[in-house]
Amino acid sequence: MTSALTAYVQSRNQGGVDIKTTVDLFRRYQFLERAAIPALAGWFLAVPRYEDKIALGYRLWAHAERADAFRRRLKELRGGHRDANTEPALQRVGDAMLHAPDEPCFLAGVRLILARLGAAYREHLAVADASANALERRILRAALADLDEAKAWYDRRTDAFSPDERERAARWTRWLEALLAAAGGVSGLDARAELPAERPATALFERPATLLFDARIQRGTFEPFDQRMNLTFEEKRVAEFRIFFNEFYAAAVLATILHDAWRADAPWEFFHDMAHHFWDEVRHAEFGATRLAELGVAPDRVDLVLFDGSQSLPFLHRLCFLTLGLEVFYMPRKQPRVKRYGEAGDFRTQLFADVDWNDEGNHVRYGKKWVTHFLEDDSREIEDLQDEIKEHMKAIFADLPEGKLSPF
């Protein structure tokens, strides 16, 4: 059976995809890719396995990259606004990715959306003209390679479901399929079905107040920086990679910013930068898991005091606290650590420390850029915001020495 886009192109005998149809399709593609970002940010906090948190971090950034590629091309094409022209039926599909009733339904739901996006991208690529649609073809080919890798991960996770989880996920994905059919499919060109009357589960997703882990990872504390510097080389290396693993707390702060700021009046570039920053912090936690495993040590604890202390602050204060407070506070430690591992000939460890140092400089720039942006219509300066944060955090860190922002 010939699908709707193929039938449309064949009926016009044009041998490719015209501008108006390209705009309509790319607008829908970028919407679904973009809608996955707050969904993955929220569920990053909720899924208990740290391996899944790392995988979701990679997946979230990939959604942001694909959405950005579609949006950049849309800027070059004649047509309507990228976001203002999204139909309500498609918005319901995007919202449903977040509001899954449990983890198996969430994973199965995102897997379904990825499968439908992959089918749409393949069909679009097949009917696109090699010359007239050359730019779209390049974007679609890159998106497909990335999307196929992501779907393979979701396949592995959903294949491991118990029979009960499989049944719940099946009910949920049938409802998502019906929502997508009511929107005319990913392309919007398919015949439209009736909007499904009843949602399989009534509860809506509410992001957790803290970062959840399974029983392997407990809340604990770490040695203060000064004490770590007095350890032996081997002890210090393990202690520092425990701190790397603990950067899950920073990723979690970014996840709450992405989730909470989604309906704020902010440019797409803000969410793109925050998605990159989030991914970096997830990777830093992965550095910890990777190097600890190589050293024969299992990660077993996190200290979430910085995350928990920031959660009653508005997202702008959280962003300022993380990027222009903590990142700046930690920066003087970075270069000496890279040098120390190099002088010891431990270039494997130095690699992770070197990349971390580089990433944190970018994060400070993100903070300066976006805190300044959000203060444009505000009577306050960055320093005023930092004073408000300092006052808020006093009650949480009453025992910290003056000038220190972190207990570790």
For position 197, what pLDDT does the model report?
Answer: 73
Domains within the chain, CATH numbers bracketed: 4-182 (1.20.1260.10), 218-394 (1.20.1260.10)
- The stretches in the chain having pLDDT less than 50 are none
- At residue 202, what is the residue type? T
Considering only CA atoms, which of 210, 325, 317 is closest in space to residue 257? 317
Helix axes 50-75, 268-294, angle to 10 degrees: 150
For residues 12 and 21, the answer to whether their CB atoms sit within 8 Å is no
Give Cβ neighbours of residue 306 (< 8 Å, ≥ 6 apart): 249, 250, 253, 326, 406
For residues 61 and 277, the answer to whether their CB atoms sit within 8 Å is no
For position 1, what pLDDT does the model report?
Answer: 62
Give CA–CA dist 130/133, Å, rounded: 6
For residues 48 and 212, the answer to whether their CB atoms sit within 8 Å is yes
Give CA–CA dist 63/40, Å, rounded: 10
Give Cβ neighbours of residue 297 (< 8 Å, ≥ 6 apart): 238, 241, 242
The DSSP result for 173-216, as a single string, is HHHHHHHHHHTTTTTS-SPPPPPPS--S--PPP---SS----TT
Inter-CA distances, 218 with 49, 107, 207, 221, 303, Å: 12, 25, 20, 10, 9
